[in-house]
Amino acid sequence: MARVRPMTGDDVAPAQEVWDEAFTTMRSSYGLPAAVGAGSAERTRQRIRHLLTTDAGGSWVAEDDDGKVMGLAQALVRDDLWVLSLLGVATRGQDRGTGKALLDAALGYGREVANGLILCSRDPRAARRYVRAGFHLNPSVSAWGTVDRRRLPAAPGVRPGTPDDHDFVAELDRSLRHGAHGPDLDHLLTEGCRLWVLEGRGYALARGAKPVFMAAEDEEAARDLLWACLAQARSDDVVEVSWMTAHQQWAADVALDAGLELHPAGPVMTRDMPVPCLYLPSGAYG
Ligand SMILES: CC(C)(COP(=O)(O)OP(=O)(O)OC[C@H]1O[C@@H](n2cnc3c(N)ncnc32)[C@H](O)[C@@H]1OP(=O)(O)O)[C@@H](O)C(=O)NCCC(=O)NCCS
């Protein structure tokens, strides 16, 4: 049985290797395109290091009998929201209860926080773990493909965001999802993501044309912001819009209008909160 212990800085590189192996194997088992959703190894290490800094109490590894890292979990707490950012076990060690032990450790962090969010992968093991842990299952789809630029409408009023917009972004996040992104927004901006703002009505944080997360006050603003993200696509870029549930029909409409394909995705798992309708979540940061 693997031993679960708190993550340290020395675990970042082996934890990233475990995650990449588990995640890549899982995606290829379900015929998911490897290029969509996969980041560079260095970006994954930065993500793990960032959360180890902000949420050391939510960062755990599992090691085997030889002391080798074979699993990881990272949860974050922002205001009144708990999010599971990473849960992975090396394929050689799956189905032996290590995922459950890691999830239990991550759930122990921020135990007092009622609202919870997990963007579940396609792995049926993951869905089983989260439902068994009491999370509510919301089926979802992801869209991907190349954007048909002939269909791009004007998205008037969407402008690049500035640091002056961060308070607005935080307030909107708190009202829709119980927590601001705080240090995660700062982290993503330093690694090249861009903030787009529709004055007083919404924002989108995008990596190229992919919305990482976005929120709006009204559906028209949400649509305009998603279009503004997709407009950043070059003709051969494969773009993904992730985790749209039945509550985010507006996003599926935009994705279809842009020429993307809808595919089944892992469910959006919630605890003590509804799926926020005018919000698209990030797998990493909720
Ligand atoms: C999801 C993951 C972390 C679980 O780790 P694990 O160590 O395999 O998990 P556990 O052994 O604790 O639990 C696996 C459960 O799935 C069950 N299971 C195994 N194969 C299954 C299948 N094909 N369908 C449904 N359930 C399955 C097991 O029986 C076990 O349930 P039980 O404990 O109630 O019997 C791991 O499989 C993984 O890294 N997957 C790839 C990365 C990923 O998708 N991570 C989730 C991100 S949201």
- Looking at the chain, the domain(s) classified CATH 3.40.630.90 span 144-265
The CATH class of the 3-113 domain is alpha beta
Residue 126 alpha carbon, nearest atom of ligand 1? 1
Closest by CA to 18, choosing from 68, 58, 55, 54, is 68
Q: How far apart are CA 127 and CA 125, in angstroms?
A: 6
Q: Are 122 and 266 in contact (CB under 8 A)?
A: yes
Per-residue pLDDT of the chain (286 residues; tens, 9 = 90+): 799 999 999 999 999 999 999 999 998 998 877 655 556 899 999 999 999 999 999 999 999 999 999 999 999 999 999 999 999 999 999 999 999 999 999 999 999 999 999 999 999 999 999 999 999 999 999 999 999 999 999 878 999 999 999 999 999 999 999 999 999 999 999 999 999 999 999 999 999 999 999 999 999 999 999 999 999 999 899 999 999 999 999 999 999 999 999 999 999 999 999 999 999 999 999 9
Q: How far apart are CA 162 and CA 159, in angstroms?
A: 9
Closest by CA to 282, choosing from 76, 79, 137, 107, is 76
Ligand 1: which of 84, 85, 95, 98 to mutate, most ligand atoms within 8 Å of CB? 95
Q: How far apart are CA 60 and CA 72, in angstroms?
A: 6
Q: How far apart are CA 211 and CA 242, in angstroms?
A: 8
- Looking at the chain, the domain(s) classified CATH 3.40.630.30 span 3-113
Residues 6+ apart with CB under 8 A from 168: 197, 200, 203
The domain made up of 144-265 has a fold known as Aminopeptidase (3.40.630)
Q: Which helix (H) or strand (E) holds 214?
A: strand 210-216
Lining ligand 1 with CB less than 6 A are 22-23, 26, 87-89, 94-100, 120-121, 123-126, 128-129
Closest residue by Cα to atom 20, ligand 1, is: 125
